[in-house]
Amino acid sequence: MLGESIGRIPIRIIQAMVRGLASLGVPPNILTAIGVSINVFCGVLFGMGEFFWAGIVLIVANVFDMLDGNVARMTGNVTRFGGFLDSSLDRLSDMVAILGVMVFYASNTPQHSLMNVILGGVAMMGSVMVSYTTARSEGLGVKANVGFLQRPERIVLLIIGALSTWDWNSDNFWFNRMPQVLWVLAVLSIWALVHRMYFIWKEFRRMESEAAAE
């Protein structure tokens, strides 16, 4: 009961924000553009090594990501271009955050790490390919929104890594967990890609078999 009550609080806040923005007539596409601009700022903070504040900004950015679609539905401004813009800029937002992490670990600092740069690159490629295979398969008639580590999970992991990293000199086990997060993102992104491609292959095989049987 307590957990449900706590969970309803952010939902009510988001709903109130949606109603307020809808009443003001704010275009959903403007909210989408604001959201990606905040994500770009988040990437800059990651690149500067301000991981904790980047995590805070990432939370704010994803609040805007929840607002645009809800405002569009409430105001009846749902358009194909709006959906296309939202999904396209989501990919940009994903890449710019991880790129910022890669820039920091590639820089000439005590935290310089080629391994972390590679892990960030693998995570970026995996996340983009997962999104691409999903969109491409849906265009061919197969809905492949399956498996773990979809966009919300990737964002949560980045936030966890960011918020834990605010004292580079600390030996506390709970501090500076971004390298571990990068391992999880890299491994699970590739796993999600392989899983999704296998699922798509099976679905195409099933569709071809059904078509041949008719």
The CATH number covering residue 81 comes to 1.20.120.1760
3-state secondary structure 170-209: CCCCCCCCHHHHHHHHHHHHHHHHHHHHHHHHHHHHHHHH
Cβ atoms of 91 and 128 within 8 Å: the answer is yes
CA distance 99 to 103: 6
Position 9 scores a pLDDT of 56
Residue 43 has pLDDT above 90, yes or no: yes
CA distance 194 to 178: 24
Choose between 92 and 19: higher pLDDT: 92
| Confidence category of residue 10, pLDDT binned at 50, 70, 90 | low
pLDDT in tens, 121-177: 999 998 888 888 888 888 888 887 777 778 888 888 999 999 988 777 777 777 888
Cβ atoms of 101 and 54 within 8 Å: the answer is no
> What is the distance, to the nearest Å, from the Cα of residue 182 to the centroid of all Cα atoms in its chain?
14
User: Span 21-42, mean pLDDT?
Assistant: 84
Number of structural domains found in the chain: 1
User: Span 183-198, mean pLDDT?
Assistant: 92
pTM: 0.82
CA distance 156 to 148: 13
pLDDT in tens, 80-107: 887 788 888 888 888 999 999 999 999 9
Distance linking the first and last C-alpha atoms of the chain: 52
Position 8 scores a pLDDT of 58
How many helices (H) and strands (E) are present in the chain, helices listed first?
A: 7, 0
Segments forming the whole domain that contains residue 169: 2-213
Please identify which residue in the block is written with the tokens 């992104």. Answer: 189
